[in-house]
Chains A and B, each alone.
Chain A
Amino acid sequence: MTIKNALIIGASSAIAQAVARRLASRGTALVLWSRSAARLEIIAADLRVKYDAKVFVEAFDLNDASLHQAALDRALAAQGPIDLALICHGNLPDQSACEKDFAIVEQAFRINCLGPLSLLTVLGNYFESQGRGCLAAISSVAGDRGRQSNYVYGTTKAALSTFLAGLRNRLYPKGVRVLTIKPGFVDTPMTAHLKKSPLFAAPNKVALDIIRAVETGACVLYTPWFWHWIMLIIRLIPEKIFRKLKM
C-alpha cells in the first residue's frame, strides 16, 4: 500500500520521529499528535524545512478518551483521508516502584493501554467505514511473557497486543490491516538509563522495519528481526522452569 497521509500519535517519541522523517522524505503528508505543543512545533518545523512536508499538528491529552473522536474529525477536515495511523506513545514504569505503589501501575495502564485502546476503537471504526488503511501500534516484546524485571510494563503491552489481534481479526474482511509492532531494545530516551548492548537497535532501523511492514500488510512485526526467534524460545520455556529463571 502507498502511504499518502499518515497520523502519528505520540509523535515526540524517538521512534515516531524516525518514522515521520522517513515518511515525510517520501512525500507523505502527516498529522502529528502529542501532549506537548512546543515539541510538536519543533518536530513539524524540522519536517517542513527538510522535506517541505505537509504537516498538521495538535496537542492534547492523548489518554483522555473523550477527546479522540473530535481530534480525528479535525485531522480529517484538515488533511483528508488517512491511510496509516500509528500509535507510539508509551511509558516504561520502574518495576520495583510498581511493586510498592499501585498508583504507578494504574498510570502505566492509562498511558500504554487504556489510552491506546480508546484510540484504536475510534480509529478502527473510521478505517472500517473507509474500507481500507492500516492501523498500527507499538507494543513490545515485553508483552510476550511476564518476567520479574518488567511484568507491569509487559502486562500493559500484552493487553495492547491482544486487543490488536482481535481488531485485526475483526477488520480483515473489511480490507483494513492491523499491525502489531514489537520492538526489542531500542536506543531511545525511554531506555537511556539502561546499559547499552549490541542488542540495542537504532530508532532509524526500527522505523524502516515499521514502514516496510505497513507496506507489505504484515500482521506482527518483531524489530529487529532476530527478536522473533528470541521470543519464540522464551515463549516455549515451560513455566515450571521459567519461574526459576532470573529474567
Chain B
Amino acid sequence: MRCRSWGRYPKTTETLKSLRWSTDPLPANDGLKVLPHGLGRSYGDVCLNQSGTLLVTAALDHLLAFDEQNGLLRCESGVSLDEVLRFLVPRGWFLPTTPGTKFVTIGGAIANDVHGKNHHRAGTFGCHVTQFELLRSNGERLLCSRDKNADWFAATIGGLGLTGLITWAEFKVRRMTNAWIEMESIKLDDLGDFFAITRESDHDYEYTVSWLDCMAKGKSLGLGIFMRGNHAKAGVGDLAPHGEPRLSIPLDFPSFALNGLSIRAFNTLYYARLRQRVTKAVVHYNPFFYPLDSINAWNRIYGSRGFFQYQFVVPFSVDDGAIREILKEIGDSGQGSFLAVLKTFGDIPSPGLLSFPRPGVTLALDFPNRGAETFRLFERLDQIVLQAGGRIYPAKDARMSAATFQASYPLWRKFTSYIDPAFSSSFWRRVTS
C-alpha cells in the first residue's frame, strides 16, 4: 500500500499492519523489516519503510492511568496529543511541551524526541517521560526509565522507532488554571532584534518563537515577528479544550499556486497584521500552538510533488554568521519558503542518544519540491550547518547525505547496537548506507 509522510516525499510502498492491542505480540516475522508508524506527521522518511512493513499504532488509543497527585499520565503509544489535550485541559492540566501540531502520537513524540516553543524552559518531550514499555521482536518487554534499562531508555527517546515498539508510556504533565495564553507579538526589523528580544524574553516568557520573512534581503534580513507568551493567570479564561478542524484542502493544489508572489503575499499578510511594534492578545492555546491544525491536510497545498521542511540547529556564536549566511542563501535562491520559524534552544539536555535539540538557534522552513535545484540548495545549506557545528532534524528530513548525518550525530554508531534486528526505516538505510 502507498504510504506518505507529511511532506509527501519520498513516495514509498509498504505493507500496513494495524496493531490492535498493546498486550498482543508483534505480528509474526515474515522476513520484511518493520517500523512503527504513528500519524505520519514526520515530514520525510523516518516514518517510512520502503518495501517493508509499517506497524500502524492508531488502535493503541487507550489512556491507562492518571495520577493527579503527581501529574503523571500513562497511555498507549498511539494516543494523540489531540486526545491527551481533550483529556487534560478541562481538568486543569497541560502538556509539558508540544510540537506545532497536536496530530502526533505519544510514540512519535518520544521517537523523535520532539520540542516546542518552551524548549528553553522545559527541554524536549523526552525530558518529561518517566517510563515506557519497549516491545522487542524477540518478544521481550522492557520496562524503561531513568533507573531501569536506562540505556534502552536513552536509545529509544529520539530512537526513530528503531529500537522496538513503544507500547505505552508515562509522562509528566503540568498544571494550568485556564486554556488561554497571554501573548505578545513584537515586530522584528532585523536579526539583531531577534537575538536581543530573545535574551530579554527567555527568563520571563515560557513560550517564544519567531516567524521570519525569508524573502527579505540585505538590511531587512531577519524581518519578522517575535511571539512570546505565558499561560494566562487564573480568571482570564476558561478551561475549554479545542474543537474540530474547520477547513480542509480537498485536492492536490496545482504547484504553480506557489510562486514567489504568493509566498510574498503570505509573508506580508503576517507582517502587516501588526501596526504597532508590540501587540498584546489573549488567545486560546489552540491557535497559539497549532495555527496550521485548523486546516486539514494543508500539506496538499504543495501538490503531488510534495515539499520539504529544512530544520537545523547551530550552536550560539558571536556573530550569528551561519544563520545570516543561510538566510541570505535562501533569499538569493528565490526558492522562498512558505514558513520560516526561528527559535532558540536552551541548555536542558535531552535524555535521548540521538535527540536533535542542543543549545543554539534553530530555523525551520518549507520548500516546494523543485527537483534538482532544491536538492542543490540543500547541499549548500548542509555545508554551512556542518561548518557551524550544527545538525539537521531527522523528523523533518528526506534527503541529507549519510556523511552529513554521521558527522553531526557522532553517537549514531553507539546507537546501532540498540536497533532491533527486525526493525528498519527508509531514513536509517539512507543515512547509514
Which A positions have Cβ atoms within 8 angstroms of B?
A: 12, 14, 38-39, 42-43, 45-46, 49-50, 189, 192
With A50-B87, A189-B18, A192-B18 already in contact, the answer to whether A39 and B63 are too (CB < 8 A) is no
B22 within 8 A of A: yes
Q: Is the CB of A42 within 8 A of B18?
A: no
Taking the complex as formed, is B66 at the interface, i.e. its CB lies under 8 A from any CB of chain A? yes
Whether A39 and B21, one on each chain, are in contact in the complex, defined by CB atoms closer than 8 angstroms, is: yes
Q: Which residue of A38, A39, A49 is within 8 Å of B65 (Cβ)?
A: A49
Q: Quick one: CB contact mask for B18-31 with A, threshold 8 Å, 1 for yes? A: 10111100000000
| CB pair A46 B20 closer than 8 Å | no
Q: Beyond A189-B18, A189-B59, A192-B18, is A39–B66 a contact (Cβ under 8 Å)? A: no
Closest chain A residue to B61, Cβ basis: A46
B65 with A45: CB separation less than 8 A: yes
Interface membership of B366, Cβ < 8 A: no
Residues of B contacting A38 with CB < 8 Å? 21, 23
Contact across chains for B23 and A42 when beta carbons are under 8 A apart: yes
**Minimum CB–CB distance for A191 against chain B, Å:** 11
Q: Is the CB of B76 within 8 A of A42?
A: yes
Decide if B247 is an interface residue (CB 8 Å cutoff). Answer: no
Contact present for B65 and A42 (CB under 8 Å): no
Across the interface, do B59 and A42 meet the contact criterion of CB distance under 8 Å? Answer: no
Q: Indicate if the CB atoms of B22 and A42 lie closer than 8 Å.
A: yes
Interface residues of B in 40-74 (CB under 8 A from A): 59, 62-66
Cα-based distance from A12 to B62 in the complex (angstroms): 12
Partner of A49, one of B18, B20, B59, B63: B63
14 more A-B residue pairs beyond the given contacts A42-B64, A42-B76, A49-B63, with a C-beta to C-beta distance below 8 A: A12-B21, A14-B59, A42-B21, A42-B23, A45-B63, A45-B64, A45-B65, A49-B65, A49-B87, A50-B87, A189-B18, A189-B20, A189-B59, A192-B18
CB <8 Å contact, B23 and A39: yes
Residues in A neighbouring B64, C-beta threshold 8 A: 42, 45-46, 49
Chain B proximity of A67: nearest CB distance (Å): 23
Count of interface residues, chain B, beta-carbon cutoff 8 Å: 13
CB–CB B62/A46 < 8 A: yes
CA distance A46 to B64 in the complex (A): 5
A-B contact pairs, 24 of them (CB 8 A): A12-B21, A38-B21, A38-B23, A39-B23, A42-B21, A42-B22, A42-B23, A42-B62, A42-B64, A42-B76, A45-B62, A45-B63, A45-B64, A46-B62, A46-B63, A46-B64, A49-B65, A49-B66, A50-B63, A50-B87, A189-B18, A189-B20, A189-B59, A192-B18
Give CA–CA (A42, B76) in the complex, Å: 9
Compute how far the CA of A12 lies from the CA of B23 in the bound complex, rounded to whole angstroms.
13
The B153-202 residues at the A interface (CB cut-off 8 A) are none
Residues of A within 8 A of B18 (CB): 189, 192
Q: How far is the CA of A192 from the CA of B20 in the complex (A)?
A: 11
Cα A12 to Cα B59 with chains together (Å): 11
* Alpha-carbon distance A94/B262, docked complex (angstroms): 53
Most buried by A among B21, B62, B66: B62
Query: Can you name the residue of chain B whose Cβ is closest to the Cβ of A12?
Result: B21
- A162 vs B66: C-alpha distance in the bound complex, in angstroms? 45
User: Which residues on B sit within 8 Å (CB–CB) of A45?
Assistant: 62-65
In the bound assembly, the distance between CA atoms of A105 and B157 in angstroms comes to 47
**Is B59 a contact of A43 with CB atoms below 8 Å?**
no
Q: How far is the CA of A46 from the CA of B22 in the complex (A)?
A: 13
Closest residue on chain B to residue A42 by CB atoms: B62
Cα-based distance from A151 to B66 in the complex (angstroms): 46
Q: Within 8 Å CB of B87, what residues of A? A: 49-50
A49 vs B73: C-alpha distance when bound (angstroms): 10
Q: Which residue of B lies closest to A37 (CB)?
A: B23
Tell me the bound Cα distance from A224 to B220 in angstroms. 57
The docked-state distance in angstroms from the alpha carbon of A46 to that of B66 is: 10
A10, chain B: closest CB distance, angstroms: 14
Query: B20 to chain A: which residues have CB within 8 Å?
Result: 189
Q: Give the complex CA separation of A174 and B22 in angstroms.
A: 44
Q: Cβ of B65: which chain A residues have Cβ within 8 Å of it?
A: 45, 49
B85 to chain A, nearest CB (A): 13
CA distance A192 to B18 in the complex (A): 8
How far does the alpha carbon of A42 sit from the alpha carbon of B87 in the complex, in Å? 17
Compute how far the CA of A155 lies from the CA of B63 in the bound complex, rounded to whole angstroms. 38
Q: How far is the CB of A87 from chain B (nearest CB, A)?
A: 20
In contact, A43 and B23 (Cβ under 8 angstroms): no
Question: Of all chain A residues, which has the CB nearest B86?
Answer: A50
In the assembly, what is the distance between CA of A46 and CA of B18, in Å? 20
Q: Which chain B residues lie closer than 8 Å to A192 at the CB level?
A: 18
For A189, the chain B residues whose CB sits under 8 A away are 18, 20, 59
A43 to chain B, nearest CB (A): 7
A37 CB to closest chain B CB, in angstroms? 10
Contacts of B76 in A (CB 8 A): 42
Q: How long is the Cα–Cα vector from A45 to B23 in the complex, in angstroms?
A: 14
Minimal beta-carbon separation of A109 from chain B (angstroms): 24
**In the assembly, what is the distance between CA of A38 and CA of B24, in Å?**
9
**Closest approach, in angstroms, between the C-beta of A214 and any C-beta of chain B?**
24
Q: A42 CA to B61 CA in the complex, in Å? A: 10
8 interchain residue pairs of minimum CB distance: A46-B62, A38-B23, A49-B63, A45-B64, A42-B62, A49-B66, A46-B63, A192-B18
B74-127 at interface with A (beta carbon < 8 Å): 76, 87
How near does chain B come to A154, taking the closest CB pair, in angstroms? Answer: 25
